[in-house]
Amino acid sequence: MSERLMRAAVLAGPERIEVKQVPVPDVGPGMMEIEVKACGVCGSDVHMWKAGHGWGPMAQAKDFIMGHEFCGVVTHPGDGPFEVGERVTFWANLYCGECDMCRAGQEQLCRAVNGQNYIGFVYDGAYAERFVGPWRNAYPLPDTVSD
């Protein structure tokens, strides 16, 4: 079986974004895949574009995909609760789900991640045709909200 590819706007250096063919990540345990329908450009994206790399000490130095404000349609639900064709958006803050802060519903204060691991900042984001990420970060979009 050949590797699946997608187009992505890759941060390739300071003030340099290149559209490249990149592999679609595999959908592993706890993950899901969506076809990206829309992705906003945030002020933090402009800062990363100027710097030429992601945000924080765990950020990739190059060939990084930004985009943390996005929505799309489920193409592979993985082992999660979503259905193929369902419209979703994602919360960009990644978290362990096991520390005391996560168990208290304060995932943004996760002790394992410590505010340093976000979709589109450290973890490849959604300036791409597809996005693969944790299904626990996905939320259904009602029909009253457009792409």
Please state the domain extents for the chain. 5-140
For residue 57, pLDDT beyond 90: no
Portion of the chain with pLDDT greater than 90, in percent: 72
- Banded pLDDT at 105 (limits 50, 70, 90): very high
Q: What is the mean pLDDT of residues 122-138?
A: 95
Between 105 and 63, whose confidence is greater? 105
Read off φ and ψ for residue 6, nearest 5 degrees.
-140, 160
Q: Residue 51 phi/psi, 5° resolution? A: -75, -30
* Domain 5-140 class in CATH: alpha beta
Distance CA 20, CA 4 (A): 13
